[in-house]
Chain A
Amino acid sequence: MNQIAQHLPVLIILFPLCATLLCPLISHFSPDWGKRSVISALFLSVVCAVWQLVIVVSSGESIHYFLGGWKPPIGIEFAVDNVNAVIILLVAVISWTTSLFSSPFEKKERTRSLYSAGYYSMLAFLAVGLLGMSTTGDAFNLYVFMEITAISGYGLIAVGEEKGPIASFRYLMTGTIGASMYLLGVGFLYASTGTLNMADLADKMPQLTDSPLIIIAVACLIVGFGIKMALFPLHGWQPAAHSYAHPGADPMIAGIMIKIPAYAMLRFFYCIFIEDSKVMQLFFAALGVMAVLGVLFGSLKALRYDTYNKILAYSSIGQVGYIAMGFAIGNVYGLIGAVLHIVSHAFMKAGLFYTSGALKYRYGIHETTYLGQVYRKMPVTSLTMVVCALSMIGLPPFAGFFSKWYLALGAIQKGQYIFVAVLILSSLLGAIYFFRIIEKLFMEREKISDEENNMRTEKKGKELPWQMLVPLIVVVAAVILIGLFNAYIAGDVLKPVITEVFLK
């Protein structure tokens, strides 16, 4: 057991990687087994992630894993502490549930065994890329994993619905610029320090705070991460990409693909750069302005639309603004709020996109005006939608309330009341559009055409297949549990690491 336990950081990435490389070969003989191998590999990753979290929290110190046996800074290392372990568990769980969720979609669309293999390969590569981005402790390794995430994202969006390829092309253009800006930033950092390891960069930073290369590097990094995260002025690719992605993979794209670059931004700005210097305070102020504008823009734009996916996509822009607000606030509660919001929003948004996919699978519904009285035939879906929507608005026992609470607490402690005002305003706006959707769910529709009525009764009143029910139940359980146990998570798991490592 100990033998396996010491290799855990790498095993979490190796299981999906082997599955995805074997998937075309296995699918050549039997497409079902190719799909099952990916799903079981992701389940093994979930088990390993839970084990790793237990080890890290109980022992209280971080795991360092040297790849290739070379000590850093000569080689690459993986560094896992509490915050890392929580995010790795999040990515693993959502990847596994999404791969389960897409299997009925894939069965319906399968024309050639290579397409099924290709879809599952891309999904597993997205998981590998996100898991790697959260685990690594080396700046260039982060770039390589970011590339894997991006390319699998382009692929999964391009096999989507009608406007999929155009949305994917737009994402490709802006995403490549973002990745290049990140690479430029890392290049400037290497030119001024000579090393690529994150802990080593942090050691060399104090002598270099005011050098112009570092200032330019920080600016390039903000633009690079901002494009990947869909932060306010750099969000242009996001609404189309999230609305037209393949419905089976959309929960993963909208839930975690834009959050992990935010986590990487947290690592860079708080662990590597000195956050007390004048230059960094200026950058944090700029980040705060972008965050506030993003929250307001997202909430206001979401009021205009009737297409379910577009509402959710614009609401995501607002939620990423909350996370950036947590970074701009910068004290303990601000950072706890930001990390907790990463976790809870991933589950909430994934849950909402699961319901969107479920409605498309059963009824082909895209607009909210056609939602009337769906709750009778699909009770679990409606329950998920209600729970996740209430959590996004920020009502108490659910997870969304607590992350906003910590953000507000942090803002009040620092005296930046504008953030509190923006939080309350955007929660009210969110209440407007989410209650609109919930109301349409339970009320009768204005006009039901005869053929639609027939289509609904013809489905023999079935709920979804079990592969789609399991993710919905997991998400609802996660939202409720994170809400109930948030004191433990924030106080015992996140707070020690944040005070020691991030806010030296």
Chain B
Amino acid sequence: MKKSNSNKKLAAGLIAIIILVGASALKIGSFLPVIGAQDTPANSYLSEYYISHAVEDTASHNIVTAVLADYRGFDTLFETCVLFLSGITAVMILSTKKKISHDKTIRTINDNSEHIFSSNIMDAAFRIVVPIILIYGIYVLIHGEISLGGGFQAGALLACAYLLDRIIPSFQMRVKHITDEIALITAGTGALFYVITGILPMLNGGNFLEFNKLPFGSGAGDIAGLHSTGILMIEIGVTLCVMGIIITILEVVLERTDFDD
């Protein structure tokens, strides 16, 4: 009786807090300028500069990628480092506890039992879907400057393919399991590639991450081509890092899980 009473009080208190926060958010929101209006400071000062100069400065039609990887590329470097850091933290916290020992490192299915129907379909779907995901991932990476995409999405897509292999029971072993250490090293190498792309202009007389002074580039040697090369190198680094981290966290969590289905 007491427990349900305190539960009711907790529920009432939570709903009161939700209503309070919601009402204050609505009131505060009435002060904010309308999204997309032309005369607000947020849309007229820096945004106009980015919109009008991004294509000629960086040869990238996707202005979001230009701002993310070129004008504010330093922030993106540390966002990638945050991902790497979260992978390390996950490994340190989760993998010191007891591990479930899987006596079969390969989960194979014998030719009996009730799984046949579901695993036949999943097997066929797997064989068709995974190459498409992999190619789509590389496409998103390379076209980050022209259409939607970029490094983060590409890395997540590439890791999705590995994820599919790990969670579907199969007829035969397909991919050797990547240990968490190797995945972490891959992620670190990706982020290091990003840092090296930033250090290269420093050796050539520019500031950190200044693509104007990159020693090699694509295009006819004009400045925008250098920026384009720089952005591509950055995105490759980010892709490697994101892919490595998603695989790391997956491996670390899978070690401690015992599938009972």
Contact = CB atoms under 8 A, between A and B. Distances in A.
Is B truly associated with A?
A: yes
Interface of A: 7, 10, 14, 17-18, 21-25, 28, 65-70, 73-76, 114-115, 118-119, 121-122, 125, 128, 132, 140-141, 144-145, 147-148, 151-152, 154-155, 158-159, 165, 188, 190-195, 211-213, 216
A141 B93 contact: no
A191 B40 contact: yes
Contacts of A213: 31-32
B92 interface: yes
Contacts of B180: 114
Contact of B91 (A7, A66, A118, A141): A118
Given A18-B192, A122-B88, A24 B75 contact: no
B75 A125 contact: no
B140 interface: no
Contacts of B40: 191, 194
Contact of B78 (A10, A122, A148, A195): A148
B81 interface: yes
Contact of B195 (A21, A158, A191, A211): A21
Contact of A7 (B50, B86, B207, B213): B207
Contacts of A22: 188, 192
B156 interface: no
A388 to B, nearest CB: 30
12 contacts: A7-B207, A21-B195, A25-B189, A28-B185, A67-B208, A75-B72, A122-B92, A144-B78, A151-B89, A159-B96, A194-B46, A212-B31
Interface of B: 28, 31-33, 40-47, 49-50, 70-75, 78-79, 81-82, 84-86, 88-89, 91-93, 95-96, 180-181, 184-185, 188-189, 191-192, 195, 199, 201-202, 206-213
A188 B70 CA distance: 25
A122 B81 CA distance: 11
Contacts of B185: 24-25, 28
Given A76-B72, A213-B32, A155 B93 contact: yes
Given A115-B96, A151-B85, 18 more contacts: A21-B195, A25-B185, A25-B188, A28-B181, A68-B211, A74-B71, A76-B74, A114-B91, A122-B85, A122-B88, A122-B92, A148-B81, A151-B86, A191-B32, A192-B41, A194-B44, A195-B45, A211-B31
B45 A148 contact: no
B74 A145 contact: no
Contacts of B92: 115, 118-119, 122, 155, 158-159
B208 A151 contact: no
B178 to A, nearest CB: 14
Contacts of B86: 151
Contacts, number: 153
Interface SS majority for chain A: helix
B170 to A, nearest CB: 28
Q: Which of A24, A118, A192 has the most CB of B within 10 A?
A: A24
A216 B49 CA distance: 28
Interface SS majority for chain B: helix
Contacts of A28: 181, 185
Nearest to B208: A10
Contacts of A155: 85, 88-89, 92-93
Contact of A125 (B31, B50, B81, B206): B81
Nearest to A192: B41
Q: Which of A7, A144, A145, A152 has the most CB of B within 10 A?
A: A144
A287 B45 CA distance: 33
Contacts of A211: 31
A277 B89 CA distance: 44
Contacts of B96: 115, 159
Given A28-B181, A192-B41, A195-B45, A148 B74 contact: no
A68 B74 contact: yes
Contacts of A75: 71-72
Contacts of B79: 144
A187 to B, nearest CB: 9
Q: Which of B41, B50, B212 has the most CB of A within 10 A?
A: B41
B58 to A, nearest CB: 11
Nearest to A70: B71
B209 A67 contact: yes
A132 B75 CA distance: 11
B82 A147 contact: yes
B44 to A, nearest CB: 7
Nearest to B192: A21
Nearest to A208: B41
B195 A194 contact: no
Contacts of A145: 78
B207 A66 contact: yes
Contact of A24 (B188, B207, B211): B188
